[in-house]
Every structure is written in C-alpha cells, then in structure tokens.
Amino acid sequence: MSRMAATRDGYGQALLELADNDRVVVLEADLGKSTKSLHFRKEYPERTISCGIGEQNMLLVSAGMASSGYIPFASTFAIFTERAFEQMRNGVARPNLAVHLCGSHGGTHTGTDGSSAQSIEDLAIYRTLPNVTVLHPCDDVSTRLLTKQLADSNKPSYMRTARNKTPVLYDDVDQSTIQIGKGIELREGNDVAIIACGVLVSEALKAAEDLSQQGIQATVIDMHTIKPLDTDLVDKVASRCGAIVTAEDHSVIGGLGGAVSEHLSTSSCTPLERVGVKDRFGESGQADEMLELMELSAPHIAKAAHRAMNRK
Amino acid sequence: MSASISELEELARRCRIEIVKMVYRAQAGHPGGSLSEIDLIAALYSTTMRVRPEDPDWADRDRFILSKGHASPGMYALLAEKGFIQHQDLHSYRVLGGICQGHVDMKWCPGVDFSAGSLGMGLSFGMGCALAARLDGSERRAFVMLGDGEIQEGSIWEAAMAATHHELGNLKVILDRNRIQNDDFCQEQMRMFDIPAKWKAFGWNVKEIDGHNMEEIVEGIKFLDSSNDGPSILIAHTIKGKGVSFMEDNPSFHGAAPNDEQYALAMSELGVVE
Ligand SMILES: Cc1ncc(C[n+]2csc(CCOP(=O)(O)OP(=O)(O)O)c2C)c(N)n1
C-alpha cells in the first residue's frame, strides 16, 4: 500500500483507455496539462477540442456534441468549472445530456496557488442538480475505473480529482467492487463510522488506526459517489455503530457531510460530526499544511469521532 | 515623478531578479508572465500612477488591477520597490500565512486592488472602479493588466462592449501580448487573429508598442493618459520569460520554477554578481 499517485492521473489514463470508443471526445480549456487530458490530446488530436480559456463555451459545446451522439469528457480546474455552473444546469443537466465534467485540483489540498484555486463548494453545487452524478474518488485506480463507467452511464456527471499524490488503496482489490453509487467499506468496526471521500479517505484510515490504539473500533467508508448517495450503506453503518463522522476536503456546507446528514435526518437519530472546511476560504500553503490549518487531518477526524461517540 | 529611461530599465531589472528569486524559493509559481509584464508595470507606477505607498488605501488613488493574477511575483516585486511592502515580505510568497499569496489578493497585500486568480474578471472589476470614480466626481483612473490568453474569456468582451457603451475614458487597459498561455502557444490553443481590430471594433482607442522598449512604453502610457474620450488599450508585444534565456518564449515556464542550475544561470543573466 505504499504507492502514491494523484487521482488526476487516473483520469488521464481512463481517457486513453476509453479511446477505443470512437464516440468519446475530449474538451479542454487550456488546462489539459494539469487535468491530464493532454495524454488523450497527444494520441487523438482529431477528437480533442481546444476551447481556449473559455469554460462556459466548453460546457455548451460539450452539450451540443452529446446531443449529436458523442460522449464528451470536458475538464478544467474544479474551481473554473464553477464559472460554467449555469451552463451545466440549464444546458447539460436540464436536458439530461451525458456530458462528463471533471474538475481537477479540487479542495484546499491543491496548495500554494491559494484560495482562488481551491474549490471547496463544487460537490455542494453540482449535487443540487437533478440528473447529475457526483463523484470524488480517493485514488488513481478508482478514478480510472469510475471514469470508464461514466462513459456508459448515459447521464451527465461531475467528478472532482485532486492535484497532489495520496496513497493508492485499490491496487490489489477486486476491481468489480468499485462501482458508481456503491460506497466501499475499507475497515469494519462497531463504535463509530467514518464516511470520507477523496484525499481524506487515507486520513480517515489513519484516524481509525489511532482510534484502535485507544480501543475504539471504527468503520471507514470510501464514499466516492456523493450522488446518488449509497443510503443503504449509510443506514447500515448508522445502526451498527450509532455514531458517524463525515470527512471531506470541502466546505462543511452541502457536500458529503451535507448529503449524509440530509439523509440521516429522515431515517435515524444517529449523532453525526462533519469534518470539513468550516465556512471560510483557504489560502496559500503546502497540501499537508492546509489539511492541518483547515483541521481536516487524521487527528481532527479522530477528535470528531470522540465527539460523535459522546453524543450517543 | 518622472524617471529616466535608464532608471526605469534598472528598476525592471531589479524586479526581474526578485521575480526569479520568489519562484525559485517557492519552487512554484508563474515566472513567464511576470517577466513579460514587468517593464510595463514598472513604467506605469513610475510615470503615471497616482498612489501613496504610505497610505495604500487612499480613496482617491488610481487603481491597478492585475487581472492575470497568477503573474503576482511581478506585482509583489514592484510593490516592494515602491515601498508598499518590505523586501522581506517577498519571502512570504506562497508561504503559509504570508501576505504574498499565490495569486494577488486585496485582502492580504497592501497596494493590491483586486483579488485575482480567476481569469477574465479584472476588466469588469476595473469598469466598476471607473464608474464609481465618475459617480464620485473623482479624477482617479482604473488601469487593468490583461493576459492575451485571458482575453479568450467571454466576460472580457462583455466588459469591452459595456465600457464603450458607458464611455469610460478613465478605464485603461494594458494587454500583455506574450503569445503564450498555459498549455501552449495561443496560436495552438485558440487563434485570436487580429486582436487590435477586435478592440477597435468594440470602440476602444488602440495603440500597439514593443512592451520591452522603455521609450515606447513611456509613449504608450502617455497615450493611455491622454485618451479620455472612451476606454483605451495599449497592446504591448512582449516575450514571455523576458530576460532569462531559457524561459524566453518557452511555454514550459508559464508555471514552473527553475532548478538550482537554472537559477544560477538566471541570476548571472540578470546581472547578479555573487
Ligand atoms: C477562469 C480561469 N481559467 C483557467 C485558469 C488557469 N490558468 C492560469 S494562467 C492560465 C494561462 C493564462 O495565459 P495568459 O492570460 O496569456 O497569461 P500570461 O501568459 O501573461 O501568463 C490559465 C489557463 C484561470 N486562472 N482562470
């Protein structure tokens, strides 16, 4: 489990593997080197459409192509996808066109570029759109597999990837367990359940390790699909553990924590603590410094687990 | 405040050294567009900008909006030279808690009038500053620095049309025409054809200059100063990475830091004697 990789590399790899399907097209907005669509561009320039620095145009060009039978994969930084939010809403989600939007460099983990580049609201906003699948995988393997599944999904999607390397979790697992809409139970315990996504999944595993030293057994779930949420799994671990922590490099408002609490408020009275960015903007800092500053790292997740358990 | 041509050139050279140092120390950041813009910013602040370094929030100051906010090292170097910030502050570039954030930010750094980082936003913001100045009956002006890749954003053209509609003679743009954007040359990413003709068609006063020839730059700024019947734009033909041989005209140094050897070479090319 020592390999380190960035999820954006899994995305780039998936596009290459999808190229056999000649309906797959790739759209860029001058960040292909960063989102990793550049590999596809090099091999298949005729199926790669440069939109210049024009995200709004990119989204609707994608919609037009989807309406004509193509399968567009469009990418830019997560933050700059947001400039085209209304295009995504009215031009893509409303007519239910299978445009696949990928936002790389999501979260404060993206680092020293600073607050203007650190999207902490993307999961929240895309989650509000009917028809749109929202994903935020935690390693390059799952990113690659989930991206490939999107091509057959016939629905629009938003996927967040991250800039920096994190531990790879799925090199040696049965790949059929990685499916859109199905959370993955990485560790089983009965005291508290930590439901995490993206770069915080490996932090959640560290937190569970620390908790076990204190005699607390934590379940850890990689909830790579934020929408549709795997509510069966949430209910299952809520009744088994009786306390829940959500963890994401995203605002505490509206993302994974929002989705899980919205669901739980209709199904059980399980205490829940949300680890996330506390309604503030980020700033320039190294990835690990940002996880500390924003109180997202393993020790903060473990503390939140205690708080949740105390409320049982 | 009138500096001689050689003083301006010397100021820009010192700024170039600081730009390369900042990016080298951070091992991240955007040297290319900082080196292409710096002659223009140095001349602008030295010849026409009405600002008070000791009172950076002075309400009637001219505004400078670095819309291509990734080219922040250029801005920080100039702010340090002009006394808005200390040279020591340049060490805080991209460092946790530092006033020199990755992208220029008005909430963090004195002398910065706009929180940038997302391209295509500064011209509309500048238009707002210009309109506010007019409503206040103030003589102050808004200067906006745009990148050439940046003008591919549709919002730039919304603002370009609106500024003419509102006859904003106090809105003045400098376009850093360095022909390179993030992934590659503009020519590869999005051909823009006749850029001066586009701005003219939108009703702007347009002048083109060599953006590294200080005499032409000073003339160009005089053109901006004196065109007050509507918005005006100075299109400065520049070289991305100007002043450091291996960065010049090289898309790889849009957003990459030099290594140790490259750094040493850059310092010697910029006339630093150890
Ligand atoms: C809306 C938006 N899209 C994408 C980016 C990412 N980005 C940062 S710099 C850059 C290229 C800018 O090129 P240009 O405007 O020519 O700047 P310069 O060459 O002067 O550095 C891109 C695409 C961004 N900052 N904002």
Between the CA atoms of B54, B57, B61 and B66, what dihedral angle is there, to the nearest 10 degrees?
Answer: 100
Say what the ipTM of the complex is.
Answer: 0.96
- Cβ of B68 below 6 Å from ligand 1: yes
The three-state DSSP-derived secondary structure of chain B is: CCCCHHHHHHHHHHHHHHHHHHHHHHCCCCHHHHHHHHHHHHHHHHHCCCCCCCCCCCCCCCEEEECCCCCHHHHHHHHHHCCCCCHHHHHHCCCCCCCCCCCCCCCCCCCCCCCCCCCCCHHHHHHHHHHHHHHHCCCCCEEEEEECCHHHCHHHHHHHHHHHHCCCCCEEEEEEECCECCCCEHHHHCCCCCHHHHHHHCCCEEEEEECCCHHHHHHHHHHHHHCCCCCEEEEEECCCCCCCCCCCCCHHHCCCCCCHHHHHHHHHHCCCCC
Beta-carbon contacts of A172 under 8 Å, excluding residues fewer than 6 positions away, are: none
A256-312 confidence digits (pLDDT tens): 999 999 999 999 999 999 999 999 999 999 999 999 999 999 999 999 999 999 999
Q: How many CA atoms lie within 13 A of B207 on its CB side?
A: 21
| Angstroms from B192 CA to nearest CA on chain A | 10
Instruction: For residue range A151-170, list pLDDT tens digits in order.
Output: 999 999 999 999 999 999 99
Distances (CA, A) of A114 to A74, B16, B72, B100: 24, 23, 12, 10
- Looking at residue A1, its pLDDT comes to 53
Average pLDDT, rounded, for chain A: 98
Q: Does B193 touch chain A (CB under 8 A)?
A: no
Residue B237 contacts A, CB cutoff 8 Å: no
CB B140 within 8 A of CB B62: yes
Q: How far is the CA of A50 from the centre of ligand 1 (A)?
A: 14
**Is the pTM for the entire model greater than 0.80?**
yes
> Chain B residues with CB inside 8 Å of A286's CB?
96
Going along chain B from its start, the domains and CATH numbers come out as 5-269 (3.40.50.970)
- Considering A28, A55, A121, A203, which one is annotated as catalytic? A55
For residue B150, how far is its CA from the centre of ligand 1 (angstroms)? 6
What is the least distance, in Å, from the CA of A12 to any CA of chain B? 15
- pLDDT tens by residue, A58-70: 999 999 999 999 9
Q: How far, in Å, from the CA of B208 to the mean position of ligand 1?
A: 22
Q: How far apart are CA A32 and CA A173, in angstroms?
A: 30
In this predicted structure, the answer to whether residue A17 has a pLDDT above a threshold of 80 is yes
Protein residue with least CA distance to atom 10, ligand 1: B182
Q: Is A289 a catalytic residue?
A: no
Extents of the domains making up chain A: 4-167, 184-310
| Bond prior to A95 in cis (omega within 30° of 0) | no
Q: What is the CA radius of gyration of chain B?
A: 17
**Residues B60, B49 contacting (CB under 8 angstroms):** no
In angstroms, the CA B129 to CA B25 distance is 35
CATH class in words for A184-310:
alpha beta
Q: Rounded to whole angstroms, how far apart are CA atoms B84 and B95? A: 19
For residue B152, which residues of chain A lie inside 8 Å, CB to CB?
Answer: 30, 52-54
Which residue, judged by its Cα, is nearest atom 18 of ligand 1?
B33
* Cβ-based contacts of B103 with chain A (< 8 Å): 113-114, 116-117
| % of chain A surpassing 90 pLDDT | 99
From residue A160, alpha-carbon distances to A35, A82, A102, B201, B273 in Å are 10, 12, 6, 40, 47
Residue A187 C-alpha, separation from nearest chain B C-alpha, in angstroms? 34
Atom of ligand 1 nearest to the CA of B148: 16
Domain A4-167 identical in fold to domain A184-310 = yes
Closest CA to A44 of A18, A70, A66: A18
Do A113 and B117 count as a contact with CB atoms less than 8 A apart?
A: yes
Cβ B149–A34 below 8 Å, yes or no? no
Residue from A30, A53, A77, A104 whose mutation best tests the ligand 1 pocket (most atoms within 8 A of CB): A53
Whose CA is closest to B199, among B218, B171, B226? B171
Decide whether any atom of ligand 1 lies within 6 Å of the A1 Cβ: no
pLDDT in tens, chain B (274 residues): 578 999 999 999 999 999 999 999 999 999 999 999 999 999 999 999 999 999 999 999 999 999 999 999 999 999 999 999 999 999 999 999 999 999 999 999 999 999 999 999 999 999 999 999 999 999 999 999 999 999 999 999 999 999 999 999 999 999 999 999 999 999 999 999 999 999 999 999 999 999 999 999 999 999 999 999 999 999 999 999 999 999 999 999 999 999 999 999 999 999 998 7
The CATH class that applies to domain A4-167 reads alpha beta
Confirm or reject contact between B251 and chain A (CB < 8 A).
Answer: no
Tell me: pLDDT of A93 over 70: yes
Cβ atoms A155, A132 nearer than 8 A: yes
